[in-house]
């Protein structure tokens, strides 16, 4: 067999998804797996084709992939994505990032995503990492296995050269897409592939194999550092994923950056550059106590509260949002995956609205308010601080208003205006934050790999 490695990576009942571009490599992988699937009928196999819309032939390529999958009786999904960055120098990285976001967000739990990166790709990625000045993590190039939540990404062709894949395709008379942009040397990878590497290989025929060995050594070094830092990192990470940073102040810079990188990787965010690690340490961790610094990393941002660092998805402000709750007997879905609200009339914690009061949910309060059980009014800002609510969450907590009167912050406090009257006619607002239950969870993770 050509690709025994593929068989050793999968189980009889594996749920396999192939990133199918229609090019030589992914076509060979799809064909091989179509045969494997027949031998293992209890497995599941499907393909995903990403239509970037960057080439005038993009739609015909999608059609080609759909027809080929139909011929081989494989389910094929076509996903269209929009690439905002049209700058030629940055379009490769942007397209790659958006492609992985689309692929990962389309996976079901326990599915395994297979990509057709091969030995030649590994060498190119290693050289590009050298050009960028990468450390051992980047020089590790394309990782054969990446785990994201309940999913895996496997690269079963990494130990095979492109010429072997082409021999397989010719043996089985496969048809594949030839993307003319692969010969455009304005792109860094194509420049290496078409101009530089042929000359290097002519001089040193084993160059690809030796660079791959170097990549492997770099990956092993990173795994060793992971192992050495694991216990210390686990002790710094809280249940909510935040990082207690005070112990970092007594460590060397190199150890601090190593711990920060691994913490960020565990949270599934975009891996920061060396310069951004310095920003996290000097401008966020070491900033004055009353500052609210932040650093954007892809679709996340890093922020500080008290003595902890947080990685947070970037959300639009809800400060000016008002939601009418017309029928209290109906569950109310909150925006931005915040869950839902529902009424419970068994616990009489706040008074019911009277006939001329309408109920709204807002996410912003200003000025002062008088809480039940307190002698005096307090400024809203002080109340948030007392309840240990980080600044970014203060506009994400549902506030119940009757007309323009603040009645309560759900699960936190009740104002005197919400006090249950003598007739004992009251209710409780239940905030159900079980997002997965309501199918509102979003996946934000994507891979920062040049592949």
Binding residues: 21-26
Are 295 and 280 in contact, with CB atoms under 8 Å apart?
yes
**Cα(105)–Cα(443) distance, rounded to whole angstroms?**
6
Tell me how crowded residue 275 is: count the other CB atoms within 10 A of its CB. 7
The binding site for ATP comprises 21-26
| Continuous H helices in 110-161 | 119-132, 136-139
**Cα(284)–Cα(306) distance, rounded to whole angstroms?**
11
| Continuous H helices in 237-376 | 253-266, 274-279
Q: How far apart are the first and last CA of the chain?
A: 26
Q: How far is CA 193 from the centre of its chain?
A: 30
Are 366 and 399 in contact, with CB atoms under 8 Å apart?
no
Q: Which of 235, 288, 239 is nearest to 262 (CA)?
A: 235
Residue 310 gets which letter from DSSP? E
Are 322 and 403 in contact, with CB atoms under 8 Å apart?
no
Which residue reads 């293992």 in tokens? 40
Residues near 442 by beta carbon (within 8 Å), at least 6 away in sequence: 105, 313, 337
């Amino acid at each position: 067999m050509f690709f025994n490695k593929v068989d050793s990576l999968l189980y009889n009942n594996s749920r396999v998804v192939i990133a199918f571009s229609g090019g030589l490599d992914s076509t060979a992988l799809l064909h091989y797996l179509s045969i494997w699937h027949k031998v293992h009928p209890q497995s599941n196999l499907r393909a995903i084709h990403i239509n970037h819309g960057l080439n005038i032939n993009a739609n015909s390529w999608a059609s080609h992939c759909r027809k080929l999958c139909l011929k081989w009786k494989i389910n094929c999904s076509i996903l269209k994505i929009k690439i905002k960055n049209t700058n030629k120098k940055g379009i490769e990285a942007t397209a790659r990032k958006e492609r992985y976001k689309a692929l990962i967000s389309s996976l079901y739990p326990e599915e395994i995503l297979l990509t057709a990166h091969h030995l030649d790709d590994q060498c190119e990625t290693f050289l590009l990492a050298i050009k960028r000045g990468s450390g051992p993590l980047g020089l590790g190039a394309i990782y054969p296995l990446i785990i994201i939540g309940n999913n895996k990404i496997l690269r079963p062709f990494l130990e095979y050269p492109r010429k072997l894949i082409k021999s397989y395709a010719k043996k089985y008379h496969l048809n594949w897409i030839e993307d003319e942009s692969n010969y455009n040397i304005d792109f860094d990878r194509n420049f290496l592939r078409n101009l530089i590497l042929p000359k290097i290989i002519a001089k040193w025929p084993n160059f690809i194999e030796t660079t791959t060995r170097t990549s492997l050594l770099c990956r092993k070094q990173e795994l060793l550092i992971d192992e050495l830092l694991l216990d210390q990192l686990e002790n710094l990470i809280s249940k909510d994923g935040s990082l207690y940073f005070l112990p970092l102040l007594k460590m060397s810079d190199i150890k601090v950056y190593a711990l920060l990188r691994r913490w960020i990787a565990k949270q599934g965010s975009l891996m920061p550059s060396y310069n951004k690690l310095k920003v996290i340490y000097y401008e966020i961790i070491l900033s004055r106590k009353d500052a609210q610094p932040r650093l954007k990393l892809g679709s996340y941002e890093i922020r500080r509260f008290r003595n902890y660092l947080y990685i947070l998805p970037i959300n639009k402000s809800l400060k000016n949002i008002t939601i009418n709750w017309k029928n209290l007997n109906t569950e109310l879905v909150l925006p931005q995956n915040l869950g839902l609200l529902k009424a419970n009339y068994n616990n009489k914690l706040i008074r019911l609205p009277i006939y001329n009061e309408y109920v709204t949910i807002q996410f912003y309060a200003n000025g002062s308010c008088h809480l039940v059980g307190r002698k005096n009014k307090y400024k809203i800002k002080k109340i948030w601080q007392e309840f240990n609510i980080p600044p970014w969450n203060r506009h994400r907590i549902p506030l119940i208003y009757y007309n323009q009167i603040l009645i309560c912050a759900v699960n936190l406090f009740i104002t005197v205006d919400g006090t249950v009257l003598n007739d004992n006619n009251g209710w409780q607002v239940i905030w159900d934050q079980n997002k997965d239950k309501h199918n509102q969870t979003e996946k934000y993770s994507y891979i920062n790999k040049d592949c």
